[in-house]
Amino acid sequence: MSFIFLLAIVLSGALGLARATKVSTNGGQPIILDTDLFSDVDDVGALTIANVFHNCGLADLRGIAINSPSHYGALGASALCTYFDNEDIPIAAFRPLTNDTFFDSFFYLYGEYVSKLAYNWPRKVKESSLTPTPVELYRTILSSAEDESIHIISIGGLINLADLLKSEADHISHLSGFQLISAKVSELIVMGGQYPSGWEYNFGGIDPKSTAEVVNHWPKNVKITYSGNELGGNVFSGQNFAQRFSPDSPVLSAYQWYVGRGSTIRQSWDPITTLYGIVGLEWLSKLRLRPMLAYANAFGYNSFNAANGSNAWVNDTGVTNQHWLRLADGVTNYTMARLLDEIMTRDPSAGCCFQHEMSDDL
Ligand SMILES: *[C@@H]1O[C@H](CO)[C@@H](O)[C@H](O)[C@H]1NC(C)=O
Ligand SMILES: *[C@@H]1O[C@H](CO)[C@@H](O)[C@H](O)[C@H]1NC(C)=O
Ligand SMILES: *[C@@H]1O[C@H](CO)[C@@H](O)[C@H](O)[C@H]1NC(C)=O
Ligand SMILES: *[C@@H]1O[C@H](CO)[C@@H](O)[C@H](O)[C@H]1NC(C)=O
């Protein structure tokens, strides 16, 4: 059975709420996005949500750290931010840089997009070698942030965060990376792992040692929320992008180049993670809408085994600040996909209020 319900999302109302409770430069939730903008195109979806919410005052996108080595990553991120009029958001390229371009040697299907973004849209970052390193960027942003204010959203490998954790006092801050995180970060949101247990690429397929460093040794006072393979892997967003985006949109082209065969439909691992990382569980409920996401567990913690790249949830009633996400009761993958599409396809020049209709198959 299907019925239509009207979602009236009044972002300016949400902005007022956010301003009353948080201290930051534009009133939104301060975030740092750590992305492997290179292979899968859902990172483009995530950066789009971050930019749209930044422009609406729901997010305060303080910086972007690239965790894949291709020098095209930071350039592509700069082209996307520039498209959304956010060219001054600091971007850190991974080191050492490579000239790698994506080639799909697994499915022989998905296409390269990031160098094309870099060279066909204006961008502020001229060369990746001129950007700060990810650790420099993190340490700079964290050292000047309000205490317990920052959400770090990780949607790729965990090497930057492992390097930050291991970083020592320097000219940027007299605190170690561990101390900076402990003092300044209120939540780490990670796309990685499979829940309650299993193997997933971001955790097991890139740099398992770094995954172990972050998952097993993150400061215990800082909340962690995991978004697993099973959540975003069954939410297919990108419906009708060709009709909904302006033809000059780099987001549209990136999805078309990557997915191919005339389609823009793709799994939503990184967009869902970024949506939660910005607005949390409460946002849609605050606006008298149904909750869209929920925590799947009340207690326990994640553990990662670097030897086989697998994670497993440990049922420890003494730990209550680690969770993994699931769709809220009554929410289908279809409803979530439509919500993501609605956010991603907003006209960047439109005002902060928008309304839309969503159909839901319950
Ligand atoms: C990447 O290409 C540039 C230009 O051809 C070259 O100068 C540079 O050495 C290359 N970098 C690597 C790591 O191969
Ligand atoms: C929802 O999940 C079903 C079953 O896995 C899948 O066939 C369908 O494509 C998904 N739809 C969306 C919009 O994600
Ligand atoms: C990985 O190793 C752990 C510890 O030995 C084990 O419990 C788990 O089942 C293994 N996972 C896989 C997928 O092999
Ligand atoms: C943890 O608890 C859940 C639900 O109570 C249960 O399904 C699962 O088997 C438990 N896992 C372990 C490793 O005990």
Q: What is the pLDDT of residues 290-325, one digit of tens each?
A: 789 999 999 999 999 999 999 999 999 999 999 999
Check pLDDT > 60 for residue 4. no
Q: If 0-12 CB within 10 Å is exposed, 13-18 middle and 19+ buried, where does residue 251 land?
A: buried
98 lines ligand 1 (CB under 6 A): yes
- Give residue 24's pLDDT band: very low, low, confident or very high (50, 70, 90): very low
305 lines ligand 3 (CB under 6 A): yes
pLDDT of residue 321: 98
Q: What is the pLDDT of residues 115-171, one digit of tens each?
A: 999 999 999 999 999 999 999 999 999 999 999 999 999 999 999 999 999 999 999
Q: Domain segments of the chain: what residues?
A: 26-344
Q: Are 225 and 218 in contact (CB under 8 A)?
A: no
Q: Which ligand is nearest to the CA of 97?
A: 1
**Domain range 26-344, its CATH number among 3.40.50.300, 3.40.190.10, 3.40.50.720, 3.90.245.10:** 3.90.245.10
- Give residue 25's pLDDT band: very low, low, confident or very high (50, 70, 90): low
Q: Ligand 2 pocket by C-beta < 6 Å: which residues? A: 234-236, 333-334, 337
Ligand 1 pocket test, candidate residues 70, 98, 99, most atoms within 8 A of CB: 99
Q: Which ligand is nearest to the CA of 99?
A: 1
Q: What is the pLDDT of residues 227-271, one digit of tens each?
A: 999 999 999 999 999 999 999 999 999 999 999 999 999 999 999
Question: Residue 71 CA: which ligand 1 atom is closest?
Answer: 1
CA distance 12 to 354: 9
243 lines ligand 1 (CB under 6 A): no
129 lines ligand 1 (CB under 6 A): no
pLDDT of residue 360: 41
- The 3-class secondary structure across the chain, one letter per residue, is CEEEEEEEEEHHHHHHHHHHHCCCCCCCEEEEEEECCCCCCHHHHHHHHHHHHHHCCCEEEEEEEECCCECHHHHHHHHHHHHCCCCCCCEECCCCCECCCCCCCCCCCCCCCHHHHHHHCCCCCCCHHHCCCHHHHHHHHHHCCCCCCEEEEECCCCHHHHHHHHCCCCCCCCCCHHHHHHHHEEEEEEECCCCCEEECHHHHCCCHHHHHHHHHHCCCCCEEEEECHHHHCCCEECCCHHHHCCCCCHHHHHHHHHHCCCCCCEECHHHHHHHHHHHCCCHHHHCCCCCCEEECCCCCEEEEECCCCEEEEECCCCCCCEEEEEECCCCCHHHHHHHHHHHHCCCCCCCCEEEEEEEEEC
Sign of CA dihedral 268, 273, 274, 279: positive
Name the token pair of 136. Answer: 């420099």
- Give residue 14's pLDDT band: very low, low, confident or very high (50, 70, 90): very low
Q: What is the pLDDT of residues 53-95, one digit of tens each?
A: 999 889 999 999 999 999 999 999 999 999 999 999 999 999 9
CA distance 249 to 232: 24
Q: What is the pLDDT of residues 187-232, one digit of tens each?
A: 999 999 999 999 999 999 999 999 999 999 999 999 999 999 999 9
Ligand 2 pocket test, candidate residues 2, 229, 234, most atoms within 8 A of CB: 234
* CA-closest residue to ligand 1 atom 7: 99
96 lines ligand 1 (CB under 6 A): no
Question: Residue 199 CA: which ligand 3 atom is closest?
Answer: 13
- pTM as predicted: 0.92
Interval between CA 98 and ligand 1 midpoint (Å): 7
pLDDT of residue 11: 41
Question: Residue 99 CA: which ligand 1 atom is closest?
Answer: 1
Name the token pair of 93. Answer: 């390229």
CA dihedral 159, 161, 167, 172 (to 10 degrees): 120
CA distance 269 to 202: 11
